[in-house]
A and B are shown apart, each in its own frame.
Chain A
Amino acid sequence: MSEDNASDPSMFQIFRQEVDTHLSALQDGLLNWENNFSDEALVKGLMRAAHSMKGAAGIFGMDNAKHLAHAMEDFFVSVQKGETEPASQDIDMLLAAVDMLLEIPKLAESELTKWPIGRMDELVSLQNEIKARIAKGKTTAANQIVQTEQPETITAKPQSGVMGMFKSETRSRVKKIRETLVNIQEIPTALAKGIDAIRPSVEAMVNLAGIVNQEATAENAKRLIALLAAQNKEKPLDPNFLKAANDILDEIESTLSALETEPSITEISEKPKPIVPPAPKGVFSGRSAQVQKARMPTPNPFRKNSLQGTDYDFPIRVSAKSLNKIMALAAESMIEVKRLSGFRDGLLKLKQFQNNLSLIINNSLESYYAQSDANLLLHSFKTIHDNVEKYRGIIRDQLDGYDSLLKDYTGRTNHLYHEVLFSRMRPFVDRAHAFPRLVRDTSRLLGKKIRFELIGERTPVDREILEKLESPINHMLRNACDHGIESPAERAKTDKPEVATIQIEARHNAGMLLVEIRDDGHGIDAEKIRKRILDKGLVTPEMAETLTQDEVMEFLFLPGFSSAEKVTEISGRGVGLDVVNNLMQELGGTAKIKSELGNGTSIMLRMPITRSVIRTLLIGIDGECYAIPLSRIDRTLRIQHDQILAMENHQYFHLGDQNIGVVSAREVLGLESVIPSEGNIPVVLIGKDDLLYAIIVDQFLGETDLAVRPLDRRLGKVPCVSAAALTEDGGPVLIMDIDDLINNIDKLLSKGKLGTPLKSKKADTSGVKKVLVVDDSATVRETERQILEQAGFVVEVAQDGVDGWNTLRLGKFNLVVTDVDMPRMNGYEFVSLMRDDPEYKNIPVIMISYKDREEDYQKGLKSGVNLYLTKSSFRDDSFIKAVKELIL
Chain B
Amino acid sequence: MEHCLNCPVYHSSGRTLLDRPPPEGYTKEWTEVFRHAVVEEYQKSTPVFAFRIEAEWLALPMSAVIEITERKSIHTLPHRSNNVLLGITNVRGELHIAVSLSALLGLERLSDVKPMQSINYRQYPRALVFGHEGEDFVTPVDEVFGVVQYNAKQLAPNPVTLTKTLAAFTRGIFEYKERPMGLLDEELLVLSLQKNYL
Known pairs A624-B76, A758-B80, A806-B191; A716 contacts B168 (CB<8 A)? no
Q: Verify if A418 is at the interface (C-beta below 8 Å from B).
A: no
B-contact 0/1 string along A619-659, CB 8 Å cutoff: 00000110000000000000000000000000000000000
A-contact 0/1 string along B77-104, CB 8 Å cutoff: 1111010000111100101110000000
Specify the chain B residue showing the minimal Cβ separation from A670: B79
State the CA gap A721–B194 with chains docked (Å): 20
Name 6 A/B residue pairs within 8 A (Cβ), A-sorted: A711-B95, A712-B96, A714-B198, A724-B75, A731-B73, A732-B90
Q: Verify if A726 is at the interface (C-beta below 8 Å from B).
A: yes
Contacts of A731 in B (CB 8 A): 72-73, 75, 90
Which residues 178-198 of B sit at the A interface, judged by CB distance below 8 A?
Answer: 187-188, 191-192, 194-198
Q: Do A309 and B73 have beta carbons less than 8 Å apart?
A: no
State the CA gap A760–B195 with chains docked (Å): 11
Q: Do A625 and B75 have beta carbons less than 8 Å apart?
A: yes
Known pairs A721-B78, A732-B73; A711 contacts B88 (CB<8 A)? yes
Q: Do B77 and A718 have beta carbons less than 8 Å apart?
A: yes
* B79 CB contact (under 8 Å) in A758, A761, A810: A758
Q: Do A719 and B96 have beta carbons less than 8 Å apart?
A: no
Contacts of B112 in A (CB 8 A): none
Q: Verify if A762 is at the interface (C-beta below 8 Å from B).
A: yes
Q: Verify if A773 is at the interface (C-beta below 8 Å from B).
A: no
Contacts of A721 in B (CB 8 A): 77-78
Q: Do B95 and A709 have beta carbons less than 8 Å apart?
A: yes
CB distance from B71 to the nearest CB of A (A): 12
Which residues 783-813 of A sit at the B interface, judged by CB distance below 8 A?
Answer: 806-807, 809-810
State the CA gap A730–B75 with chains docked (Å): 11
State the CA gap A731–B88 with chains docked (Å): 10
Which residues 679-734 of A sit at the B interface, judged by CB distance below 8 A?
Answer: 709, 711-712, 714-716, 718-721, 724, 726, 730-734
Q: Verify if B24 is at the interface (C-beta below 8 Å from A).
A: no
CB distance from A622 to the nearest CB of B (A): 8
Which residues 26-83 of B sit at the A interface, judged by CB distance below 8 A?
Answer: 72-80, 82
State the CA gap A786–B32 with chains docked (Å): 72
A interface residues with partner B (beta carbon < 8 Å): 309-310, 624-625, 668-671, 709, 711-712, 714-716, 718-721, 724, 726, 730-734, 757-758, 760-762, 806-807, 809-810
Known pairs A718-B79, A806-B187, A810-B192; A309 contacts B95 (CB<8 A)? no
Q: Do B88 and A732 have beta carbons less than 8 Å apart?
A: yes
Contacts of B77 in A (CB 8 A): 715, 718, 721, 734
Contacts of B191 in A (CB 8 A): 806-807, 810
Q: How large is the interface on B (under 10, 10 to 19, 20 to 34, 35 or more residues)?
A: 20 to 34
Q: Do A715 and B80 have beta carbons less than 8 Å apart?
A: yes
Specify the chain B residue showing the minimal Cβ separation from A736: B78
Q: Do B78 and A810 have beta carbons less than 8 Å apart?
A: no
State the CA gap A112–B97 with chains docked (Å): 39
Besides the known contacts A709-B95, A726-B90, 13 further A-B residue pairs in the complex with CB atoms under 8 A apart: A624-B75, A624-B76, A669-B79, A714-B97, A714-B198, A716-B198, A730-B90, A732-B89, A734-B75, A758-B80, A762-B196, A809-B168, A810-B168
Q: Do B133 and A309 have beta carbons less than 8 Å apart?
A: yes
Contacts of B22 in A (CB 8 A): none
State the CA gap A758–B195 with chains docked (Å): 15
* 3 pairs of A and B residues whose beta carbons are closest in the complex: A669-B78, A309-B134, A732-B75
Q: Do A809 and B188 have beta carbons less than 8 Å apart?
A: yes
Specify the chain A residue showing the minimal Cβ separation from B89: A732
Q: Do B198 and A732 have beta carbons less than 8 Å apart?
A: no
State the CA gap A670–B81 with chains docked (Å): 10
State the CA gap A625–B194 with chains docked (Å): 26
Contacts of A719 in B (CB 8 A): 78-80
Contacts of A732 in B (CB 8 A): 73-75, 87-90, 95
Contacts of B198 in A (CB 8 A): 714-716
Q: Verify if B135 is at the interface (C-beta below 8 Å from A).
A: yes
State the CA gap A221–B196 with chains docked (Å): 41
CB distance from A419 to the nearest CB of B (A): 16
CB distance from A305 to the nearest CB of B (A): 12
Q: Which of A719, A721, A732, A809 neighbours the largest number of chain B CB atoms within 10 Å of its CB?
A: A732
Which residues 134-170 of B sit at the A interface, judged by CB distance below 8 A?
Answer: 134-135, 168
State the CA gap A720–B75 with chains docked (Å): 14
Known pairs A624-B75, A709-B95; A310 contacts B134 (CB<8 A)? yes
Contacts of A762 in B (CB 8 A): 196
Contacts of B168 in A (CB 8 A): 809-810
CB distance from A248 to the nearest CB of B (A): 40
Contacts of A711 in B (CB 8 A): 88, 95
State the CA gap A601–B93 with chains docked (Å): 46
Contacts of A718 in B (CB 8 A): 77-80
Known pairs A309-B133, A714-B198; A724 contacts B95 (CB<8 A)? yes
Contacts of A668 in B (CB 8 A): 78
Specify the chain B residue showing the minimal Cβ separation from A621: B78
Q: Do B78 and A712 have beta carbons less than 8 Å apart?
A: no
CB distance from B59 to the nearest CB of A (A): 20
Specify the chain B residue showing the minimal Cβ separation from A625: B75
* A720 CB contact (under 8 Å) in B74, B78, B93, B133: B78
Contacts of A734 in B (CB 8 A): 75, 77-78
CB distance from A220 to the nearest CB of B (A): 39
Known pairs A726-B90, A809-B188; A715 contacts B95 (CB<8 A)? no
State the CA gap A807–B187 with chains docked (Å): 11
CB distance from B137 to the nearest CB of A (A): 9
Specify the chain B residue showing the minimal Cβ separation from A724: B95
State the CA gap A471–B97 with chains docked (Å): 32
CB distance from A623 to the nearest CB of B (A): 10
Contacts of B197 in A (CB 8 A): 761
Q: Do B90 and A714 have beta carbons less than 8 Å apart?
A: no
* B88 CB contact (under 8 Å) in A720, A724, A757, A758: A724
Specify the chain A residue showing the minimal Cβ separation from B191: A806
CB distance from A258 to the nearest CB of B (A): 38
Contacts of B80 in A (CB 8 A): 715, 718-719, 758
State the CA gap A771–B174 with chains docked (Å): 35
Specify the chain A residue showing the minimal Cβ separation from B74: A732
